[in-house]
A = this chain, B = another copy of it.
Amino acid sequence: MDDTTLVPVAGNGLLPLRALNRRQLLTGLGAGALALPSAALAAGGRPSWMQGAGVGMRGYGTPSPAETVGRVAIASQPGTTGSGASRTPLAALEGTITPSGLHFERHHSGVPTIDPGAHRLHIHGLVEKPLAFSLEALDRYPLVTQLRFLECSGNSAVNLAAPEAPDLDVATLHGLVSQSEWVGVPLSILLEEAGLKPGAAWVIAEGADAAAMSRSVPLAKALDDAIVALYQNGERLRPENGYPMRLFLPNYEGNMSVKWLRRLKVTDQPAMTKDETSKYTELMPDGRAAQFTFTMGVKSVITRPSKGYGLGAHGIYPITGLAWSGQGEIRRVEVSADGGRSWADAALEGPGGPGAMVRFRMPWHWQGQPATLVSRATDSTGARQPTREMLVQARGPQSLYHYNGQQRWQVSAAGDVRNSYV
């Protein structure tokens, strides 16, 4: 056994990445041995589920009945049934893809039940030829495939607004972010077909929900990497994600990727819709609001250990989480076990690429000592995820949106984990 794998690379027990490949350390330590002697097999006997044929095949599969993972913190506005949010259960998931059934939801008037054959996408305003597109027609257009995160700009806001760290789990705090493989038609192709008139500078996108959710999109973004998404993780969009079509603006705040996309009106200025006034703008300490702060910042969060996913016997534990940035590719994620006094680089995994989430991993030797676990990401622009203090200083505690501060998890001597600002 290579004893140097036990020598910490940063304070409070962070181990070198090669410990990820040295599982025997766990047993070598005489603490936290996970595997049991295989006596049960020798004793014979097959489990009950091997005693007879299993169940048959299904047209469309669902999770095991033993699995109870669902979206969490489902909260509607008082007096409504479908306006509100639900969050992705980040701690229960692994890898980088979010199952479509667990993609976060944020609705302003519930999920419309749309007849895909009757739905049309209109392009009008400052165009030569106003056009209408059926789903069937869009399927004939060139499609592109993009693995991308989508994050609500209000994600994690409670960690900024609450004066004391709220005792919430990672899903409730940060679960308004998910990742899918999106496939759609480049919006540039559709706008080119309609023909832009002089003066065209913005595109107003409206959804076919009862709220007619609307946002103003700069024309430059619409002509760059925007798509009209038709597929999510291989299949047609889910109803909660805009079936049968949605705008998808990589790297921009999720609200702008208008679901159930019904029309795109080309204009010479933004519309200042109800969804971009007091909502989706950031109130600054001087009483003015920052508007059209589209791009999501560089961010990471440790998903395990986290509240509800604490530690048991002393031993080596995996620290893992997700990182993403609307500004570029994730280049580095550092982890600290001593509240940020010392840091070590985590291993990065997943397909990655621009606008894609990465999974990070770090081995940690926990011997019962109290600890504060933190992660911070750096992207390809060199931007590094700030601390909460830096954001409070820069924008005040009421800015609400675009909060990308570092998440701190306090681990007690008993192995319990809770949200912490210090």
Please report A residues at the B interface, Cβ cutoff 8 Å.
Answer: 20-21, 23-24, 26-27, 32, 34-42, 46-47, 49-67, 69-71, 74, 76, 80-86, 92-103, 105, 107, 109-116, 118-120, 122-124, 129-134, 137-138, 140-145, 147, 181-183, 186, 188-190, 192-194, 208-210, 212, 230-231, 233-240, 243-244, 262-263, 315, 317-318, 320, 349-353, 359, 361, 363
Asked if B233 contacts A123 (CB within 8 A), the reply is no
25 contacts between A and B (CB under 8 A): A20-B142, A23-B192, A35-B131, A35-B190, A46-B212, A47-B115, A49-B113, A49-B115, A50-B262, A51-B210, A54-B109, A55-B110, A57-B105, A57-B111, A59-B70, A59-B86, A62-B238, A63-B238, A64-B236, A67-B243, A97-B97, A102-B235, A140-B317, A147-B351, A233-B233
How far is A263 from B244 in the complex, measured between Cα atoms in Å? Answer: 45
What is the distance, in angstroms, from A299's C-beta to the closest C-beta of chain B?
18
Asked if A97 contacts B181 (CB within 8 A), the reply is yes
How far is A56 from B109 in the complex, measured between Cα atoms in Å? Answer: 9
Chain B residues with Cβ below 8 Å from A85 are 57
- Known contacts being A37-B131, A97-B181, A181-B97, is A53 close to B69, with CB within 8 Å? no
Known contacts A49-B115, A59-B70, A95-B182; 8 further A-B pairs (Cβ under 8 A) = A21-B188, A38-B122, A49-B209, A50-B212, A53-B81, A69-B235, A93-B231, A95-B233
Copies in the complex: 2
How far is A54 from B50 in the complex, measured between Cα atoms in Å? Answer: 45
- Known contacts being A23-B141, A113-B49, A141-B34, is A61 close to B233, with CB within 8 Å? no
Asked if A49 contacts B234 (CB within 8 A), the reply is no
Asked if A132 contacts B41 (CB within 8 A), the reply is yes
Chain B residues with Cβ below 8 Å from A233 are 95, 97, 99, 233
Asked if B145 contacts A350 (CB within 8 A), the reply is yes
Asked if B54 contacts A209 (CB within 8 A), the reply is yes
